[in-house]
Chain A
Amino acid sequence: MTDLTPVTALGGTVPRSEVFGALSITENAGLALASLSLRQGQLAPAPFGLVLPDVSQTVSTGGYGAFWTGRDQWMIEAEGQGDSDFAARLKAEVPEATVTEQTDGFAAFEIQSSAGAAPIEALMHKLVNIDPKALGVGRATRTGLEHMTVFLIRRADDRLAVIGMRTLAGSLWHALAVAARRLEA
């Protein structure tokens, strides 16, 4: 184990978390990400037992998840493995496919509502031009948010993950926090 100490995308030693009324936003520093692309003519594999999902879908099982990011391309997630060489583990699962390490390419923010779907949808109304009704549980999409590109993953009715570029983590947190705070007012 290296003797260097990592920092989170927001630059802290511990992930940031804040509550805004019914919404809480938490930096998910433990989420490991690696992209998986099929080589030409390759059939979709099933890494970690995941059935790679169709367009705009996301699946998860046993601490692993996958969401569609483009044709023949997915992002594979592993909860709590952010500090490991997850891309190498994925590559071992799918040696024929193209795998690229993406964990530190992104900053993940998990938004949890304590009052059902409504606060999540209200937050989406302020931030993204995506109809919340079209981003139900099990769906994922990529879109623009305050001039940044983000993945939105509807993990549950009351849970939404917003995954944006790591170097923009501060700006993304600012956008999410300001919108959440205004919903409180």
Chain B
Amino acid sequence: MTRLAGGLIDRSLPLNFTFDGKAYTGFQGDTLASALLANGVQLMGRSFKYHRPRGVVAAGSEEPNALVELRSGARQEPNTRATVAELFDGLAARSQNHIGPLDRDFLAVNDLLSPFFAAGFYYKTFMWPKAFWEKLYEPAIRKAAGLGSLSMLPDPDAYDKGFLHCDLLVVGGGAAGLAAALTAGRAGAEVILADEDFALGGRLLAESDLLDETEASVWIATVRAELDSLPNVRIMTRTTVFGVYDHGIYGAVERVADHLPTPGDKVRQTLWRITAKRAVLAAGATERHIPFADNDRPGVMLAGAMRAYANRWAVSPVKREADAIAIFTNGDDGHRTAMDLIAKGAKVLGVIDVRQTAPRFGDYEVFAGATVTGTKGRLGLNAIEITRNGRSEWHPVGALGVAGGWNPNVHLASHHRGRPVWNADLLSFVPGADGPKGLIPAGAAVGKGGTEEALADGMNAAITALAGIGIVAAGIALPKAANAAAEQVAFWHVPGKKRAWVDFQNDVTVKDIALAHKENMRPVEHLKRWTTLGMATDQGKTSNISALAVMAELTGKSIPETGTTIFRPPYTGVSLSVLGGGDTGTTFRPRRLTPTHHWAEAQGAEFVEVGQWMRAQYFPQAGETHWRQTVDREVLAVRSGVGLCDVTTLGKVDVQGRDAGEFLNRLYANMMGTLKVGMVRYGLMLREDGHAYDDGTCARMAQDHYVVTTTTANAGLVYRQMEFFHQCVWPELDVQLISTTDAWAQIAVAGPNARELLSRVVDDFDLSNEAFPFMACAELTICQGLRARLFRISFSGELAYEIAVPARYGQALIERLMQKGADLGVTPYGTEALGVLRIEKGHAAGSELNGQTTAQMLGLGRMVSPKKDSIGAVMSRREGLAADRRRLVGLKPLDAGTQIMAGSHLFTAGAAQTMETDQGWVTSSCYSPHLQSYIALGFLEAGDARMGEVLVAANPLEGQEMKVEVVSPHFVDPEGGRLRD
């Protein structure tokens, strides 16, 4: 055990956990990383490419090395950073990316082969032979790569999303963030304070700095208590603001239950969409290291992280208490770690400072003008080589802290292509002025990392931000604090022959960057792609700037001349589960149910998804073993008796106003203004480019009142188009539009017995052909006083009506019709039978109205009225469209029992089957029980003049070919006598 005194862990709450099956104990407040270090575990994983033994490097979300698998079974979660995994009792973690035990990984052979795995090796090695890529290289690479593994089981947990709004979003709850939130909270602004950590305080938790001469945790607790008491402040811990989107929208993930063994009733995570008028980016800074030979051994870590482990978690990073710790630094900051470790009673070898005139802040040895030039220790550090003035000597150490300076966390500030700018004094990039509007970076995120300056900067940022939205915020009394000494020099890496790691996660070394330079992959974007630097889970948080500095050195340019790395969302990895969010399975998306849905369900109907709708597809009866039996029965029942079909899904739009008729004249290709009250007309709508768009019916209920229907699929689009022409093109017309699709349950009653059946439900209404002819409509009452609308229209070609009642009565109506029609052979039918009936009748539907067809092709050319303008009228007369000779035809196979594949192309018998000889294509196909033959509809060159011709329908994809006869598309009752009788 290497626990120190103090820290912010609760020693009264021990937590048991396992790592690679071995049992350990930590405390409440630990992360997995701090608890492992406290147990003397330095080796936590293997590197991505070379499978080098690796330990923890950082103490926060920037961690590149310590990636582990958490939990098991369906909850197995790969690539979790041990540094942010909160410890809970029973946590089971495993190391990953190795074959065999972690300390004897068989894939470590890759390290010996490293000369072959240099930068760009993928691109160079796996090029040839080409066929090997899919069969050999890719599977092998996939197996060896990818770090952790997936369970391949469905995620059992629930994920959620939500929306929040505020005046000020404060990203980060450290010194600057707390000061900003408190300033804004006291000013009465609506404030959201978000921090990725489970505790507020940020870097204050990791430092030994005093605030008002007491431990910082006391001040943090006081501020938290005040913020909690303010109703206008929402504190969101365990919440990462991962991206900035347009107009002040921020994406954030709250890890609601990741710190619990299982979520129980809670959701696992919540995706928040925060709309903030202003934001303060107080995201702090990330420390960078200094590459030197063999700097990747477990035990080598960032000096600031070492401080965090010592101060916050009371952990020394060595395996045995007796082991000494050394610090390698290019500035004053490394000395802070030495001081804090000494204060905690750890054994410190000294500080290796690259500066010749290195300061000394306490009682420890300083190796001034020295560098670390080598390390030893197979699975963990046990010695370092210190070189000074050309003389080298080895020193036994158990851990080495490396302090290369701090990079402001500019990520969110660069999300709108905001370009960070180089600050030569700070030796780092800071947010530029062109970042997202309304986002003000503050504190360490702009390089003001001293406690005193961060507090003041946070407060001032809040005051400035709120002033921008008219809220006056007063300054607050900040605690007395100091800024630690922070002198440093530009020292980016220790030159040498051995490998010096820049990016631990992707195994990118200084040599790889030199190779990229040699191969002219010099712009940072190329460098990244060629070497994989800065990719994967950490996105180069600890490595990008160092790599840039190395490249600058090689090119002889300055760092800003060499390039700038900007960042895209997300700041840290976001699980696909939370982005997908919400429900799975049948509740994955909303489902529209027709008014007779529950009834149809009770009848045993099979359903089909049509857009959002669930429609009854067919109604199987006992004894029917194949859907075709059912559909054939339903179709024949309509042709011989009477059938019922719920057609509520057709779009219905109420069009009223003095100019309703004129408006519809302009909307539809044919005349609607001349329609008599009480009558219905089929309507064809074109697109403005002249092609057929949608069809439906217009019923004139009153002089200034029409009800129009659209196809199910286009209901929303047609309504939108109607509003477009109403508001954007002809707003001078007096028209009012509103959808009534859902309000009315509409049932098609079709078949020779339709009139008789309806006569049994209407109240004193004359249904005779004289009183209520084909294409009539009326408002009436049925079933003793229920208001209803009746339309005599037919999609099937039979005597047919559509009857509409308030939706709440839809189920009762169909039940009544079934009951009253028992002796008439009444039969419910679904969308399959509906499709067969309309193909038999030659009615166009979606397969024919596919956006490529014209009114002429549909045989409806004469509907485009030459007497008026309408949408698409001008363009429909274009040469290319008007001259189109393809026409809708019926097709019958010479062998009645062979199905014609929809999509087949039509060719003259005996002709070569090429694009040039193509005569048309098959749009819809079905079995007609009425004709006892397969039939189809299609478009054929000059089709209306080719009745009786025998063609070949070819489906070259499947190697099918069959002979078909061209017939009228009206397979049933071509004269239309049935629907008019």
Binding site for B on A (CB under 8 A): 1-9, 11, 29, 35, 37, 39-40, 73, 82-83, 85, 98, 100-106, 124-131, 133-134, 146-148, 165-172, 174, 178, 182, 184-185
Set of chain B residues within 8 Å of A102, measured between Cβ atoms: 738, 740, 743
* 14 CB-based A-B contacts, threshold 8 Å: A2-B786, A4-B812, A4-B816, A39-B658, A39-B736, A82-B808, A85-B787, A125-B163, A128-B163, A167-B593, A168-B612, A174-B583, A182-B266, A184-B265
Task: Establish whether residues B740 and A98, one from each chain, have CB atoms under 8 Å apart when the complex forms.
Answer: no
Distance in angstroms between the alpha carbons of A169 and B810 in the assembled complex:
15
Task: Establish whether residues B734 and A168, one from each chain, have CB atoms under 8 Å apart when the complex forms.
Answer: no
Task: Establish whether residues B783 and A4, one from each chain, have CB atoms under 8 Å apart when the complex forms.
Answer: yes
Distance in angstroms between the alpha carbons of A126 and B163 in the assembled complex:
6
Set of chain A residues within 8 Å of B811, measured between Cβ atoms: 7, 11
Chain B contact residues: helix, strand, loop or mixed:
mixed
Task: Establish whether residues B806 and A11, one from each chain, have CB atoms under 8 Å apart when the complex forms.
Answer: no
Task: Establish whether residues A170 and B740, one from each chain, have CB atoms under 8 Å apart when the complex forms.
Answer: no
| Nearest chain B CB to A80 CB, angstrom units | 15
| Nearest chain B CB to A8 CB, angstrom units | 7
Task: Establish whether residues B594 and A125, one from each chain, have CB atoms under 8 Å apart when the complex forms.
Answer: no
Set of chain B residues within 8 Å of A130, measured between Cβ atoms: 163
A-facing residues in B183-201 (Cβ within 8 Å)? 190
Does B876 touch A at the CB level, under 8 Å? Answer: no
Task: Establish whether residues B742 and A104, one from each chain, have CB atoms under 8 Å apart when the complex forms.
Answer: yes
A-facing residues in B554-585 (Cβ within 8 Å)? 582-583
| Nearest chain B CB to A131 CB, angstrom units | 4
Distance in angstroms between the alpha carbons of A40 and B738 in the assembled complex:
16
Does B273 touch A at the CB level, under 8 Å? Answer: yes
Cross-chain contact of B594 among A1, A8, A124, A167 (Cβ < 8 A): A167
Does B654 touch A at the CB level, under 8 Å? Answer: yes
Cross-chain contact of B740 among A85, A100, A178 (Cβ < 8 A): A100
Task: Establish whether residues B590 and A35, one from each chain, have CB atoms under 8 Å apart when the complex forms.
Answer: no
Does B484 touch A at the CB level, under 8 Å? Answer: no
Cross-chain contact of B164 among A98, A125, A169, A172 (Cβ < 8 A): A125
Set of chain B residues within 8 Å of A147, measured between Cβ atoms: 589-590
Task: Establish whether residues B812 and A6, one from each chain, have CB atoms under 8 Å apart when the complex forms.
Answer: yes
Set of chain B residues within 8 Å of A133, measured between Cβ atoms: 165, 190
Which B residue sits closest to A126, measured CB to CB?
Answer: B162
Task: Establish whether residues A104 and B744, one from each chain, have CB atoms under 8 Å apart when the complex forms.
Answer: yes
A-facing residues in B592-646 (Cβ within 8 Å)? 592-595, 597-598, 612-613
Does B329 touch A at the CB level, under 8 Å? Answer: no
Task: Establish whether residues A7 and B808, one from each chain, have CB atoms under 8 Å apart when the complex forms.
Answer: yes
Which B residue sits closest to A167, measured CB to CB?
Answer: B592
Distance in angstroms between the alpha carbons of A5 and B808 in the assembled complex:
8
Which A residue sits closest to B731, measured CB to CB?
Answer: A40
Interface string of B258-280 (1 = CB under 8 A from A): 00000011110000010100000
- By Cβ-Cβ distance, the 9 closest A-B pairs, closest first, are A185-B265, A105-B743, A2-B786, A104-B807, A131-B165, A6-B808, A171-B590, A4-B812, A37-B736
Max chain B CB contacts within 10 Å: which of A29, A166, A178? A166
Task: Establish whether residues A11 and B784, one from each chain, have CB atoms under 8 Å apart when the complex forms.
Answer: no
Inter-chain pairs besides A40-B658, A104-B745, 15 sampled, C-beta below 8 Å = A1-B784, A2-B782, A2-B786, A40-B734, A82-B808, A98-B656, A104-B808, A105-B743, A106-B742, A126-B161, A129-B273, A130-B163, A133-B190, A166-B742, A184-B265
| Nearest chain B CB to A75 CB, angstrom units | 10
Distance in angstroms between the alpha carbons of A39 and B659 in the assembled complex:
10
| Given A6-B809, A104-B808, A131 contacting B275 (CB threshold 8 A) | yes
Task: Establish whether residues A168 and B265, one from each chain, have CB atoms under 8 Å apart when the complex forms.
Answer: no
Set of chain A residues within 8 Å of B784, measured between Cβ atoms: 1-3
Task: Establish whether residues B589 and A103, one from each chain, have CB atoms under 8 Å apart when the complex forms.
Answer: no
Task: Establish whether residues A103 and B587, one from each chain, have CB atoms under 8 Å apart when the complex forms.
Answer: no
Task: Establish whether residues A167 and B165, one from each chain, have CB atoms under 8 Å apart when the complex forms.
Answer: no
Max chain B CB contacts within 10 Å: which of A8, A100, A101, A125? A100
Task: Establish whether residues B590 and A146, one from each chain, have CB atoms under 8 Å apart when the complex forms.
Answer: yes
Set of chain A residues within 8 Å of B807, measured between Cβ atoms: 9, 104-105, 166-167
Interface string of B191-227 (1 = CB under 8 A from A): 0000000000000000000000000000000000000
Which A residue sits closest to B592, measured CB to CB?
Answer: A167
| Given A35-B738, A98-B656, A2 contacting B808 (CB threshold 8 A) | no
Set of chain A residues within 8 Å of B745, measured between Cβ atoms: 104
Which A residue sits closest to B705, measured CB to CB?
Answer: A98
Which A residue sits closest to B249, measured CB to CB?
Answer: A129
| Given A2-B785, A6-B808, A105 contacting B742 (CB threshold 8 A) | yes
| Given A7-B811, A100-B740, A125 contacting B787 (CB threshold 8 A) | no
Set of chain B residues within 8 Å of A170, measured between Cβ atoms: 591, 593
Which B residue sits closest to A181, measured CB to CB?
Answer: B265
Distance in angstroms between the alpha carbons of A125 and B272 in the assembled complex:
9
Does B451 touch A at the CB level, under 8 Å? Answer: no
Task: Establish whether residues B160 and A126, one from each chain, have CB atoms under 8 Å apart when the complex forms.
Answer: yes
Distance in angstroms between the alpha carbons of A124 and B654 in the assembled complex:
32
| Nearest chain A CB to B788 CB, angstrom units | 10
Set of chain B residues within 8 Å of A82, measured between Cβ atoms: 808
Does B657 touch A at the CB level, under 8 Å? Answer: yes
Does B741 touch A at the CB level, under 8 Å? Answer: yes
Set of chain A residues within 8 Å of B806, measured between Cβ atoms: 6, 101, 103-104
Distance in angstroms between the alpha carbons of A85 and B332 in the assembled complex:
83
Set of chain B residues within 8 Å of A6, measured between Cβ atoms: 806, 808-809, 812
| Nearest chain A CB to B722 CB, angstrom units | 14
Interface string of B152-184 (1 = CB under 8 A from A): 000000101111110000000000000000000
| Nearest chain A CB to B569 CB, angstrom units | 19
Does B940 touch A at the CB level, under 8 Å? Answer: no
Does B349 touch A at the CB level, under 8 Å? Answer: no
| Nearest chain A CB to B486 CB, angstrom units | 41
| Nearest chain B CB to A55 CB, angstrom units | 17
Set of chain A residues within 8 Å of B657, measured between Cβ atoms: 39-40, 98
| Given A100-B738, A126-B160, A171-B591, A2 contacting B743 (CB threshold 8 A) | no
Does B813 touch A at the CB level, under 8 Å? Answer: yes
Set of chain B residues within 8 Å of A146, measured between Cβ atoms: 582, 590
Distance in angstroms between the alpha carbons of A59 and B202 in the assembled complex:
49
Distance in angstroms between the alpha carbons of A9 and B158 in the assembled complex:
27
Set of chain B residues within 8 Å of A1, measured between Cβ atoms: 784-785
Task: Establish whether residues A182 and B592, one from each chain, have CB atoms under 8 Å apart when the complex forms.
Answer: no
Distance in angstroms between the alpha carbons of A170 and B808 in the assembled complex:
14
Interface string of B485-505 (1 = CB under 8 A from A): 000000000000000000000
Distance in angstroms between the alpha carbons of A184 and B598 in the assembled complex:
30
Distance in angstroms between the alpha carbons of A100 and B807 in the assembled complex:
15
Distance in angstroms between the alpha carbons of A125 and B612 in the assembled complex:
25
Does B648 touch A at the CB level, under 8 Å? Answer: yes
Distance in angstroms between the alpha carbons of A172 and B589 in the assembled complex:
10
Distance in angstroms between the alpha carbons of A100 and B737 in the assembled complex:
9
| Nearest chain B CB to A122 CB, angstrom units | 9
Does B739 touch A at the CB level, under 8 Å? Answer: yes
Set of chain B residues within 8 Å of A167, measured between Cβ atoms: 592-595, 613, 648, 741-742, 807
Which B residue sits closest to A83, measured CB to CB?
Answer: B808
Set of chain B residues within 8 Å of A8, measured between Cβ atoms: 808
| Given A98-B736, A131-B275, A133-B190, A4 contacting B809 (CB threshold 8 A) | yes
Max chain B CB contacts within 10 Å: which of A37, A104, A170? A104
Max chain A CB contacts within 10 Å: which of B163, B734, B781? B163
Task: Establish whether residues A185 and B275, one from each chain, have CB atoms under 8 Å apart when the complex forms.
Answer: no
Cross-chain contact of A39 among B265, B734, B782, B785 (Cβ < 8 A): B734
| Given A98-B657, A104-B808, A146-B582, A168 contacting B590 (CB threshold 8 A) | yes
Set of chain A residues within 8 Å of B736, measured between Cβ atoms: 37, 39, 73, 98
Distance in angstroms between the alpha carbons of A105 and B806 in the assembled complex:
9
Cross-chain contact of A7 among B267, B612, B812 (Cβ < 8 A): B812
Set of chain B residues within 8 Å of A37, measured between Cβ atoms: 656, 736, 738
Set of chain A residues within 8 Å of B656, measured between Cβ atoms: 37, 98, 100
| Nearest chain B CB to A20 CB, angstrom units | 12
Task: Establish whether residues B808 and A105, one from each chain, have CB atoms under 8 Å apart when the complex forms.
Answer: no
A-facing residues in B772-811 (Cβ within 8 Å)? 781-787, 805-809, 811
A-facing residues in B731-775 (Cβ within 8 Å)? 734, 736, 738-745
